[in-house]
Structure 1
């Protein structure tokens, strides 16, 4: 299990790099218009972060396939808990809030490099 604090600055950097400048990710007023207190993290940012965190701890592995289903968004300035359950060549991935709400779930297929 790994925890990561999702900052507004990290989301701004991801938005610039990905060119996904949707206001819901960057602007508090736009987020408030759809019912959020703060902007929300990009789903692809969370997916990439999950892969990076896993591979940082498993340097001899390579991700060959992945899928992640998003259940709810996460607002910036919150902690995301990344839980990885390994089972041979598959890794189950669950992202939750500190309160235990599931943000996303899925799996990686991995191989040794």
Structure 2
């Protein structure tokens, strides 16, 4: 796992995906200024987490014992920002969590079609 001991959480994302990189820049500017980020391609994640990071964004807790993925990672980040906390709260509870998870999966499958997306952003097979 990427070492986070003594620091804040670390956001792990797909550095080859322009849409993901732009989304992380938005999060750093508007939601979580100062959040540490690392592309999974340059991380020291364990093999299982590395595989997971290819499919969804990961948020690594500073103590290294907790990993949130996908919409849960986004919700935890949102909860840390006073302006965005209500959205984070909604994503952690029903029915917001189910809706958020469905939207996250749809965006992840179609990220190569999103603004700034390229063929390198495609996850899995054809959509």
TM-score above 0.5, yes or no:
no
TM superposition score normalised by structure 2: 0.29
TM superposition score normalised by structure 1: 0.31
* Structure ranking higher in helix proportion: 2
